[in-house]
């Protein structure tokens, strides 16, 4: 197979685009997909301060490198989750990546904030993945707002987005369906959030890391056993295998035809958002989930004395 752009031997095939590329042309394809996402949703400009959440995984590191290559003013943000035999490795990967790139990095250690994920796992009898996600989003938003960033970016790829869309659709969750998308404006105490990789698959971000020699964390979280998200991804991958391009079509048609309906429904039926009485974070309750979680953990520690 030859590269569809330059005619050199192709090293990656992309059935969803009916094409294949050599490494150099694939990098150009990747860049153009990111550029198209940013331009279409008017995400941000070269004059904006951009905060990129870095987990240490392939997607977030690929996004950070690409935005740097395109000349954006980017700073990394890593949330150290304090998970034994896991978090230390992810943090080391992120620190080395930013050091090699000469890029600024902010680190928040949740243990210092009284929110150790290891402690939460022991003390709270609820699915840990959901709680972990809430903790990370809280600090993403807090750092972005407190330190004057114009945009908060995450490395969610197309597979992440359609997996989440399928999950929300199966539950017909109006609140989540109304705010699902690659671009969310700054409002109600939330920073502007963007997902510039939404047009690229997990396979494509992995290839980008391979071709550009980006070392990333490949370890599976020790708390992720039993998570349902990989099952939904597998279902969608089966569909994509039989009908290449179906994932992107599904997602883009939702954004164009269905999302506006859910936004209107949420505006009519949704609970009003107001600042948390304790920390000021936006919530639909008097006290936000994170402050309530802190109280539960503090009570647990007190009971152990």
CB neighbourhood size of 125 (10 A): 7
Q: Where are the domains of the chain?
A: 45-219+228-270, 273-304
Question: Binding site membership: which residues?
Answer: 3, 6, 22, 25, 53-55, 59, 79, 155, 160, 276, 279, 288, 291
pTM, 2 dp: 0.93
Q: Are 14 and 21 in contact (CB under 8 A)?
A: yes
Instruction: Name the binding residues for Zn(2+).
Output: 3, 6, 22, 25, 276, 279, 288, 291
**Residues contributing to the annotated binding site for ATP:** 53-55, 59, 79, 155, 160
Q: What is the pLDDT of residue 72?
A: 98
Question: pLDDT at position 304, please?
Answer: 77
pLDDT of residue 122: 86
Looking at residue 300, its pLDDT comes to: 82
In the chain, count of helices (H) and strands (E)? Answer: 12, 10
Q: Which residues contact 122 (CB under 8 A, 6 or more apart)?
A: none
pLDDT score, position 260? 96
**CATH of segment(s) 45-219+228-270:** 3.40.50.620
Angle between helix axes 229-242 and 246-253 (nearest 10 degrees) is 110
Predicted local confidence at residue 226, as pLDDT: 59
The list of the chain residues with pLDDT below 50 reads none
- pLDDT at site 165: 95
The pLDDT value given to residue 76: 98
- What pLDDT, on a 0 to 100 scale, did the predictor assign at position 66? 98
């Amino acid at each position: 197979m030859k590269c569809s752009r330059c005619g050199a031997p192709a090293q990656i095939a992309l059935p969803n685009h009916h094409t294949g590329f050599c490494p150099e042309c694939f990098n150009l394809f990747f860049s153009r997909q990111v550029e198209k996402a940013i331009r279409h949703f008017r995400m941000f400009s070269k004059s904006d301060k951009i905060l990129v959440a870095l987990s240490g995984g392939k997607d977030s590191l690929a996004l950070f490198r690409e935005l740097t290559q395109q000349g954006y003013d980017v700073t990394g943000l890593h949330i150290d989750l304090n998970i034994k035999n896991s978090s230390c490795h992810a943090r080391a990967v992120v620190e080395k990546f930013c050091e090699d790139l000469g890029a600024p990095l902010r680190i928040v250690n949740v243990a210092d904030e009284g929110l150790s994920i290891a402690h939460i796992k022991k003390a709270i009898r609820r699915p840990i993945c959901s709680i972990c996600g809430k903790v990370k989003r809280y600090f993403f938003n807090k750092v972005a707002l407190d330190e004057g960033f114009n945009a908060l970016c995450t490395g969610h790829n197309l597979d992440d987005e359609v997996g989440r869309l399928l999950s929300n659709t199966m539950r017909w969750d109006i609140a989540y369906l109304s705010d699902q998308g690659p671009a969310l404006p700054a409002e109600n105490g939330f920073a502007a959030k963007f997902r510039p990789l939404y047009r690229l698959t997990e396979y494509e971000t992995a290839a980008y890391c391979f071709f550009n020699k980006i070392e990333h964390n490949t370890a599976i979280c020790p708390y992720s056993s039993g998570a349902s998200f990989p099952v939904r991804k597998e279902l969608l991958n089966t569909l994509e295998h039989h009908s290449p391009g179906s994932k992107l079509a599904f997602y883009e048609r939702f954004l164009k035809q269905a999302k506006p309906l859910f936004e209107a429904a949420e505006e009519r039926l949704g609970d009003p958002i107001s600042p948390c009485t304790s920390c000021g974070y936006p919530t639909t309750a008097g006290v936000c989930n994170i402050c309530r979680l802190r109280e539960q953990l503090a009570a647990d520690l007190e009971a152990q004395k």
